[in-house]
Amino acid sequence: LLPLKHATYQVLLALDDGERMHGYAIMQAVTDMTGGRESILPGTLYAALARMVDEGLVEESWPRGDDPSGGPPRRYYRRTAFGRAVARAESERLRALLDVARAQNMLGHRK
Amino acid sequence: MMGRRLAVSAYRMAARAFPGRHRHQYQHEMIDAFERELRSLMARGALATFAFVAAACFDAIVTGVRERRRDRRWRLGAAWSAVDVVLAWRMLLRYPGLTVVGVCGISVGIAIAATAFTIVAALTNPRLPLPAGERVVSLLNRDASTGNRELRVLRDYTWWRAMKTVDDIGVTRTVQRNLITDGRPHELVTVAEISASAFRVARVAPLRGRVLIPADQQPGAPEAIVIGYGEWVRRFGSDPNIIGRSIQLGSTTYAIVGVMPDGFAFPLYHSYWIPWRIEASAYGPRSGPSVSVFGRLASGTTIEDAQAELTAIGQRIAADSPDTHERLRPQVVPYTYAFSDMDDPQNALALYAIELAIVLLLVIVCVNVAVLVYARIARRQDEIAVRGALGASRRRIVVQLFVEALMLAGIAAATGVGLASVALQQLDGSMLIVAGRVLPFWITLRLSPTGVLYVVALTLVAAGIVGVIPALAATRRDVYTRLKTLSSGGGARMQMGRVWTTLIVAQVALTVALLPTSMFHAWAALRFQIGDPGFASDEMLTAQLALDRTTVAATAEGEREFATQFAAAHRELERRLHEESTVGEITFSMVGPGEERAVVLEIEGRAVPFDGVRYNIVEGSPRGHLVRFNRVAIDFFDAFEVPVLMGRGFRTSDVEIGDAITPGVLVNRAAVETLFAGTNPLGARVRYVGRSRETGERDVVLQRWYEIVGVVPDFPAPGPMEAERVSRVYHAATFGDVYPAEMALRVRSRDPVAFADRFRAISAAVDPNLQLRSVETVEMTLKREQGLMRLVGVTVGLVILSVVVLSAAGMYALMSFTVSQRRREIGIRAALGAERHRILTGIFARAITQLAIGAGVGLLGALVLEQVLEGEMMQGQDALFLPLVILMIAGVGLLAAVGPARRGLRVEPTEALREQ
């Protein structure tokens, strides 16, 4: 599976442990967690979600009651243990690269 | 508001790029997410909104297209799941009847197609197995007016040698020589008399010693010979000291200078090479012996360059010698084309047409199997309906049925390839017999990798027809309708559509129409024998007598000298043979009995038939009677113990000498009945007005009158199946009149073949250059022909068998379908206490009527065909074969009905009613 597609990684990070989110919430979470520097568009998101369900990275479920936010019923997604492991492996992989970048003084210092 | 709706519509449109499956699941959520984001962005201004809409639409289109592609890849991958293969295997075992019929039919079709492909490929696209073999060319002359090839090109060769675009131009001809080795019977071998440049053209190094060199061609040089690998192993026991050993061909002794490696047989199928010594300039244009000219394209030139240069040379020659060369067009062709006539696109086209016809035959076979598969699918409707309801798409079901068909076709293809290999082997062997020599070294009748690819393609086509077409037809209705029929438990389910029914009926008609003819031919081929040829065929030893021609120049005077020499040798040979105690009568003829040549005959004072002779007439008129003629020794009929029925036998005065007298000829009984309507032909005068291609220019004299002086029986006696009676005319000949002569001698011993060696020894003693070709008894010749005919018979028989089996399968499918469609009705009838036979007639009345109509139409077709072709198809045997075929089809139809009928009668009334 590695390296993960960018959208897949974004979605895996946006889905915090145990939390169930619908598609639009994931879009917002991606924007929020990157401070508005990154976003994900609905086409890419749902293509990624469909694939991630097939691969067992996320679980799909329907809400029990009515959607509190109104509108038509929407699927909810939750990160699986496997999804978490894969995200972790991808992070490790990226960290190795980041370490190299850092050693070459490419990152500068965090403010 | 308006803008938002527009944006959503645009996004909805863009989302259509996603595959249906994805849209079905996620589209409304995608649009919902898009709309929510849009709403939150609209507050931030038009630019941000517009940027988002554009980006989102673009993203939807790009991702959608990507998903579609991924989907397709997935589908292709998933189409071949292991489950399909296992399922397919189970289906093959579960319906063994269908499997056997399908495999038999398709395998015969594929075997014939693969065999035809191999032969056509070998003929149309032969690859010369020499280094850079595609650059080896033949130079030849073609007569523009007749299209025939002019083989007397020795003079042209001297002019062509100046060409710059073709290197190492050489010349060759094939001669037969007596190989004389001590302590062994003399043997006739085929020798290539060839320019030394041939070995440079071929670019093959010798295994031992050297190849021929230009010095060997010089007059007075020591006689050198190069031999082939096979001869070295077989005749000389792979002697390592072979170089320098001597070998006698005819009256000349040669020193072996080299051995060529295994597989080398240039120019055609040769294994002895002697240097070319004939002085080309001694011959005038368009005269001399028949030869082949070859060369290798110079580096950097193309065949077109060579053709341009040769055409220019040809035009110069035509200007210098208009009498002989005005209509000759020299050509440069790929080497092998000179021996196959494939440079004529029409010939190649004809071969491809045959190939296409054979593929069509396979398609017909497959359509038949498809009918059966369709009938089987009908019995699996429930399974298919349930699978559809569980989410299997139509494509998924079709793919599964395709895999089933592919497995069937695959087994058939494997069987077919096996059959084709056997057939090709047989054919290779029998061609050797027919041609009396081996095939050119570049033709190998073996299934090539391309051939295997062709079979794979055919297998896919077969599987497509057998699997996909019925599957598409069966899954046409949607899941809901299919489920409905499932719940109603039968009734109006799948239907044996009009198309399928018509197909089956048409096929029965076609079978009945064509079967009698093919059956007749197969039977005739299998039974082929000249039952009693009218003489003791096992006692008569025959051989073709010829004389090595190299010793005499090919001029008119030389020709006469040669004839005298041959006559003397022939006469001497007969004299010495008479001294042998076991030899009885000895005689000769131009060609053997039954091999007579075709000519067009006119009878004095009788009207010429209106129609021209439909035969290969190359000279003179086709208006007249087609007869066959032979020149025979005066004692010919006595030797074969054939009596003269009317008039008298031959006398010395009947031999054609000078123009002063009218020579007497004999005719056979068939000629009396056909040409003279049974009236007395004695004294009638006849002459030849046309000559066929097989009759040599020198063999027949056109326009000369002959008088019929006697009548002999049909000789050899016609075979039991030979309805066509051949009119024959016999002329008297003496020694030297015919060349080569067909000798026949009666050997009074238990094994006449054992005399063959003594025969050769006597002949070699008379003259080492005297050649005896194919020494064998008449019985052996007949048996060989019989073997070939048997092969033809078996092939035709196999095809007939598959046609009959397929016809039966079609009928079976129709009956079987009828029963499953009318299950309920049968149940009700049985419940109401109807008698069994009434139920049966009730069920099958319609199907049987349809089949009877088919058979009737076919019968009519057969009769019309027989009438139109004037009895050519069955040669008057229709009274025997038509009823036979009807009986056979009726039998097959009844057999096909047994299974379905039993199934019909087993229907339990309660069960059938409950299903309702």
Chain B from 67 to 86: CB within 8 A of any A CB: 67
Q: Which of B13, B18, B29 to mutate to test the interface with A (most CBs of A within 10 A)?
A: B29
ipTM, two decimals: 0.90
Provide CB contacts within 8 A for B611, sequence distance 6+.
Answer: none
Q: Is B26 on the interface with A (CB under 8 A)?
A: yes
Q: pLDDT tens digit string along A53-73?
A: 888 889 888 766 655 555 667
Distance from CA of A31 to the nearest CA of B (A): 11
Q: Which of B25, B30, B66 sits opposite A42 (nearest CB)?
A: B30
- Does A24 sit within 8 Å of B59, measured CB to CB? no
Question: Which pLDDT value is given to residue B6?
Answer: 87
| The predicted structure's pLDDT at residue B661 | 77
Residue B756, amino acid: A
For residue A58, the distance in angstroms to the closest alpha carbon of chain B comes to 16
To the nearest whole Å, the CA of B26 is away from the closest chain A CA by 7
What residues of chain B lie within 8 A of the CB of A41, using their CB? 55-56, 59-60
Q: B573 near B766, Cβ under 8 Å?
A: yes
Q: Before B716, cis peptide (omega within 30)? A: yes
Q: What is the CA radius of gyration of chain B?
A: 38
pLDDT for B43-64, tens place per residue?
888 888 888 999 999 999 999 9
**Residue B105, class by beta-carbon neighbours within 10 Å (0-12 exposed, 13-18 middle, 19+ buried)?**
buried
DSSP string, B723-788: -SPPPEEEEEE-TTSSSSEEEEEEE-SS-GGGHHHHHHHHHHHH-TTEEEEEEEEHHHHHHHHHHH
Helix (H, G, I), strand (E, B) or coil at B748: coil
Search chain A and give the residue with CA nearest B59: A43
Pairwise CA distance, residues A37 & B506, whole Å: 74
Q: Is B36 on the interface with A (CB under 8 A)?
A: yes
* Look-up of token digits 């007005």: B689
**Are B67 and A49 inside 8 Å of each other by CB?**
no
What residue of A is the nearest CA neighbor of B61?
A: A43
The pLDDT assigned to B527 comes to: 64
**B384 touching chain A per CB within 8 A:** no
User: What stretches in chain B show pLDDT beneath 50?
Assistant: 77, 434-436, 487-492, 530, 552, 916
Identity of residue B123:
L
In whole angstroms, what is the distance from residue A37 CA to residue A98 CA? 19
Q: What is the pLDDT of residue A111?
A: 44
| Nearest CB to A47; choose among B31, B37, B63 | B63
How many C-beta atoms lie closer than 10 Å to residue A30's C-beta?
Answer: 19
For A94, the token pair is 């990226």
Residues 578-607 of B with CB under 8 A from A: none
Peptide bond just before B740 cis, omega within 30 deg: yes
Residues whose CB falls within 8 Å of the CB of residue B331, separated by 6 or more in sequence, listed in order:
B139, B140, B141, B142, B307, B310, B343
pLDDT of residue A54: 84
CB contact under 8 A, B55 and A41: yes
Q: With contact defined as beta carbons under 8 Å apart, do A23 and B33 qualify?
A: yes
* Interchain CB distance below 8 Å, A44 and B59: yes
How far does the CA of residue A102 sit from the closest CA of chain B (Å)?
A: 33
**Tokens, residue B554:** 């090919």
Closest residue by Cα to residue B363 from B498, B510, B466, B473: B466
What pLDDT was estimated at residue B397? Answer: 78
